[in-house]
Amino acid sequence: MTKSIYDQLNASGTVAKQRLVETFSGNEVDYKRWGAGGDFGFYIDDEVDGGLLMKWYQATAVAGKEGILSTSDGTSGEKRQFSPTNFVWIANCKWTGTRTSGVSRFGIKRYRDGTFNGGGVAGATMGYDNTKIAAYTSSETGGEYQSVSSTIDVDNVYHNFKGSRSGGAYTLLIDGITSVTTTQTSSHLPVNASEPFLYVYNNDTTHHTLNCNYFEVYNT
């Protein structure tokens, strides 16, 4: 059995706080854990290292469509198990699409509604109006947000992301090398218990997709 990142970084016997580990394997998305929203399809990709695939479900993409996967849905209610101030999330993701015409975001957030800008986000963003992968944070209400660019170009290959916060500013580490720290320490950040999420938006008639084959979140 593959150890989680937490297990690999902490001594054996260390009692973990609240934690989620997801590899998006098997035949279909586990909807006992995840809730889907928006217009996209959510599949287990049939390719090597494919993991989860989020994609508009028709052959021809439609502008203005979005999809979100989180641990809350309209049927089973909210599952916000993670601290907004003391957390780590780790994801291995790949975005495919035209940078200026779509966007993907993932990390943790307070609300699954208000998906594009608001909702209380501490995550990563790729595409739309930024040539670089960026740390992305937003307020829980009002849609105020901050995007801080890294030095890594937006591309269509897998990257490893680690978002973390310990009471102060939010930091995004990309591929274990490049670190980006936001200037916000209180505003433009979630302030209440939050949930993991993955999000994609189409801004034109081109397919923009997100793959994720590892997602871990834990409280620190």
Number of domains making up the chain: 1
Q: Can you give the pLDDT at residue 56?
A: 84
Q: If you compute the radius of gyration of the chain from its CA atoms, what whole number of angstroms results?
A: 16
Q: Can you give the pLDDT at residue 135?
A: 95
Q: What is the mean pLDDT of the chain?
A: 87
In a domain, 218, yes or no: no
Say if residues 97 and 209 touch (Cβ distance below 8 Å).
yes
Element (H, E) at 7: helix 5-9
In a domain, 15, yes or no: yes
- Is the pLDDT at 78 greater than 60, yes or no? yes
Give the whole-number percent of the chain exceeding pLDDT 70.
Answer: 91
Q: Can you give the pLDDT at residue 112?
A: 78
For 87-104, write each residue's pLDDT tens digit. Answer: 999 999 999 877 677 889
In a domain, 177, yes or no: yes
Q: Can you give the pLDDT at residue 76?
A: 66
Q: What pTM, to 2 d.p., does this model score?
A: 0.89
Which residue range is the domain that position 26 belongs to? 5-212
State the Cα–Cα distance between residues 194 and 82, nearest whole angstrom.
5
In a domain, 217, yes or no: no
pLDDT band at 123 (very low <50, low <70, confident <90, very high): very high
In a domain, 71, yes or no: yes
Instruction: List the CATH number of the domain containing 116.
Output: 2.60.120.200
pLDDT band at 115 (very low <50, low <70, confident <90, very high): low
In a domain, 219, yes or no: no
For 142-169, write each residue's pLDDT tens digit. Answer: 778 899 999 999 999 999 999 999 988 8
State the Cα–Cα distance between residues 62 and 170, nearest whole angstrom.
34
- Is the pLDDT at 12 greater than 80, yes or no? no
Q: Which range (107-116, 126-135, 166-175) has the least confidence?
A: 107-116
In a domain, 72, yes or no: yes
- E-assigned strand segments in the chain: 19-22, 35-38, 40-44, 52-56, 66-70, 86-96, 102-109, 121-127, 130-138, 145-153, 159-166, 170-174, 178-181, 195-202, 209-219
In a domain, 220, yes or no: no
